Amino acid sequence: LFLNNCLLNVYAKCGSVEGAKKLFHSVDCRDIVSWNTLIDAYSMLGDVKKVSELFLRMRDEGIEPDGLSYVSVFSAVAGRGNVEVGRAVHAQMVTSGVELTKQAETSLLVMYSRCKKLKEALQIFERSDDKDLMLWTSMISGLLKNGSADQALRFFWQMLASGVKPSKETLACVLASCAKLGDIKLGTSIHCYTLRHKMAAGISLQNSLVSMYVKCGRLKQGFRVFSMMPERNVVSWNAILVGYAHNGYLTEALHFFSELRIACEEPDYITVACLLQACASVGAYQQGKWIHNFVVRSCLLPCIKISTTLVEMYSKCGDLVS
């Protein structure tokens, strides 16, 4: 059983749910670890249906879910957004008497926050009597993502006051809040803090630094951080490109777009949507059509965001027929 579970974990971690599934069904000796491993494999794929199905089936087979099983369900719901399923499982967890672990608490908070249920997320947070770094960071991120950047900063100060030290992830959220609020003063001091505490590495943190500077209108500073990054991903490129686009530099934004492709990074729907919005805002018809052409020939999946910005671009450029 032990070895089978190890192997199951290997399949799951390597992204082979099929392998995990086969192994899971080929043996008749399973315990809670086997179930949790398989459920989490589906959860990581975002397959909420499979997750709930397995979750129900394990109870039928007489295995009571533990804290970890619940975490997988909450995380799956957080990714896809059917709150009602999440609420039901949450209620079941309460009645079942399974202990609310730190992980379950955090994944619940994240679930409600990603489903835009800020009140319920705040409730989880307030009811927690031992707020750790993960819970604080998740709450700060949740406030930011739900349009309360100012409150996110207030929570950050409270976190510091309560003696919890921020991680790079926390600071990335705080910087994103500064970006949203245009708070260059706090943004800069966070930057200094990361340098003083040897926390300035890490792609997410650097991405949020770039974003903070350009959103505050400090294009040169943002570009300086960007150009010194040892590693970049599509978020880095989007951050710098959007900064230039929002400050009225369409040509430069398009330049970053070609650089991105030279760097062999794949543009995503955000890249394209931002460029189209930039074209729309200055009425750049030719460039807009060129981006549209790129979208058609790319392997980007059609999505509402791209469609909307295409419509916006064409109408702002006066081409109502397209």
Q: Which is nearer to RNA, 40 or 85 (CB)?
A: 40
Task: Quote the tokens at residue 45.
Answer: 């794929």
Q: Which is nearer to RNA, 83 or 234 (CB)?
A: 234
Give the residue from 231, 166, 239 showing the smallest Cα distance to 207: 239
Q: Would you tell me which residues interact with RNA (CB under 7 A)?
A: 2, 5-6, 8-9, 13, 32-34, 36-37, 40, 67-68, 71-72, 75, 101-103, 105-107, 110, 132-135, 137-138, 141, 144-145, 147, 167-170, 172-173, 175-176, 179-180, 202-205, 207-208, 211, 215, 233-236, 238-239, 242, 246, 268-270, 273-274, 277, 281, 305
- Minimum CB distance to RNA, residue 214 (Å): 9
Q: Which amino acid is at 316?
A: K
- Minimum CB distance to RNA, residue 72 (Å): 6
Q: Angle at CA 190, nearest 5°, toward 167 and 203?
A: 55
- Minimum CB distance to RNA, residue 164 (Å): 10
- Minimum CB distance to RNA, residue 132 (Å): 5
User: Exposure of 258 by Cβ count < 10 A (0-12 exposed, 13-18 middle, 19+ buried)?
Assistant: exposed
Q: Which is nearer to RNA, 89 or 321 (CB)?
A: 89
User: Exposure of 220 by Cβ count < 10 A (0-12 exposed, 13-18 middle, 19+ buried)?
Assistant: exposed
- Minimum CB distance to RNA, residue 151 (Å): 14
Q: Angle at CA 160, nearest 5°, toward 158 and 164?
A: 115
Q: Angle at CA 197, nearest 5°, toward 159 and 224?
A: 105
Q: Is 301 helix (H, G, I), strand (E, B) or coil?
A: coil
- Minimum CB distance to RNA, residue 321 (Å): 24
Q: Which is nearer to RNA, 128 or 321 (CB)?
A: 128
User: Exposure of 106 by Cβ count < 10 A (0-12 exposed, 13-18 middle, 19+ buried)?
Assistant: buried
* CA pair distance 85, 120, nearest whole angstrom: 15
Q: Which is nearer to RNA, 151 or 208 (CB)?
A: 208
